[in-house]
Amino acid sequence: MSNILCYKLNTMPKSDDRNLSLMSMAEVQQARRFHESFPQYKKTPLVDLKHMANYLGLSAVKVKDESYRFGLNAFKVLGGSYAIARYIADELQKDINTVDYTFLTSNTCKQEFGQATFFSATDGNHGRGIAWAANQLGQKCVIFMPKGSTQTRLENIRKEGATATIEDLNYDDCVRMAAQEAAKVPHGVVVQDTAWEGYEKIPAWIMQGYGTMALEADEDFGEKPTHIFVQAGVGSLAAGMVGYFANKYNDNPPIMVVVEAAAADCLYQGAVANDGQPRIVGGDLRTIMAGLACGEPNITAWDILKNHVSCFVSLQDEAAAMAMRMLAAPIKGDTPIVSGESGAAGFGALATIILHEEYKALRQALHLDQNAKVLLFSTEGNTDPDVYRKIVWEGLNH
């Protein structure tokens, strides 16, 4: 189990924090109002693992279970749907509060806006969310998937009416491909949750869409969490959650920990470099945590994270696999959670830090003790049932 987890406490220089306002309460509440306009909207459960918390020596462990989100088995649709709506509102010069599900599916919208083609790169969940939202709203969608993506995830996207292919490229190269192809098509729009110079507006809207999940979790937690563990690919989800709680509890924020797959730990590498500049991780980015296999950080998200995260964690696949099994078969009396490979990463880091004596110093630095009330996000269910069974039933670790 040695080196199952590497960590770096955050000592980076801070920026002027201009991006934190993206996740203000007003912005997040606006996103939630939009999601509530969908007939499929329902708050996902916050599972209180009371017996697990006791076993780990913590006061509370509560997990937001996104496997119930809009019937899509993952949280990603929150960001994609909101970004599409904000784009259409922007094009029509309308207030987003008037561009709800009813308007977007109306003949008025069809006449005023017409039809766009939304392009994206994804391992599965983001693309499926974009495809579903585009399909619901009468728009077109094209998805590029990186090598190593499974046939199951490809078919799930195609079932939503999108054109989707698996390319012989890694995730970051698929993002570039999506941008290139969108530029060739009339009304082609890239909907990507990673930002780069000159492409920042849509990723910011996606982060705000994710805020619905933070707001729901905050309401259901019942008090201020002392700790938040959240996983990161490009960092948009993490910055959405961190940004929300940093805004709400500005004077005394929770201790926030960001967890990445070791094969794609660009944020962790940035923390290790310690100069405040983002870092890029290249190569095939092979990990069971497919949703976290991103080597180039969202620059907007990075700015929020470097200012407000206490610790960056680089996690090996075996810890995520262990977490999937622990959540699937928790201590008697706790509700089981079907958590996919990426969804379980945050809990994998928490359990590893608590259960392995070699991380005692980190436990103490993060104050993970009997007073700790931890919020985690299981961002996906068994989005690939075959892989899930191999890990949970057959003991596959990587």
- Choose the catalytic residue: 8, 64, 76, 373: 76
Q: What is the mean pLDDT of the chain?
A: 96
User: Does residue 38 surpass a pLDDT of 80?
Assistant: yes
Mean pLDDT value across residues 79-95: 97
Residues in Cβ contact with 336 at an 8 Å cutoff, skipping those fewer than 6 apart? 327, 328, 329, 330
Nearest Cα to 242, choosing from 297, 295, 307?
Answer: 307
pLDDT, tens digit (0-9, with 9 covering 90-100), for 352-368? 999 999 999 999 999 99
Give catalytic status of residue 172 as yes or no.
no
- pLDDT for position 125: 87
**Tokens read off for 376:** 């985690």
Nearest Cα to 377, choosing from 288, 264, 259?
Answer: 259
User: Does residue 124 surpass a pLDDT of 90?
Assistant: no
pLDDT, tens digit (0-9, with 9 covering 90-100), for 42-52? 999 999 999 99
Mean pLDDT value across residues 148-163: 93
Give catalytic status of residue 123 as yes or no.
yes
Nearest Cα to 136, choosing from 100, 111, 163?
Answer: 100
Residues in Cβ contact with 377 at an 8 Å cutoff, skipping those fewer than 6 apart? 63, 64, 66, 75, 213, 217, 230, 231, 237, 241, 343, 346
CB 248 within 8 A of CB 308: no
User: Does residue 194 surpass a pLDDT of 90?
Assistant: no
- Choose the catalytic residue: 100, 123, 173, 303: 123
If pLDDT is split at 50, 70 and 90, which confidence band does 193 have? confident
Mean pLDDT value across residues 330-340: 98
Topology (CATH) of 77-198: Rossmann fold (3.40.50)
Nearest Cα to 20, choosing from 196, 221, 226, 253?
Answer: 253
Among 1-5, 43-47, 212-216, the minimum mean pLDDT is found in: 1-5
- pLDDT for position 3: 86
CATH tag for 5-75+203-392 (out of 2.60.40.1180, 3.40.50.1100, 3.40.50.1000, 3.20.20.105): 3.40.50.1100
The percentage of residues in the chain with a pLDDT greater than 70, rounded to a whole number, is: 99
pLDDT, tens digit (0-9, with 9 covering 90-100), for 229-240? 999 999 999 999
- pLDDT for position 2: 57
- pLDDT for position 1: 43
| Domain boundary assignment for the chain | 5-75+203-392, 77-198
pLDDT, tens digit (0-9, with 9 covering 90-100), for 90-116? 999 999 999 999 999 999 999 999 999
Per CATH, 5-75+203-392 and 77-198 having the same topology is answered: yes
pLDDT, tens digit (0-9, with 9 covering 90-100), for 283-301? 889 999 999 999 999 999 9
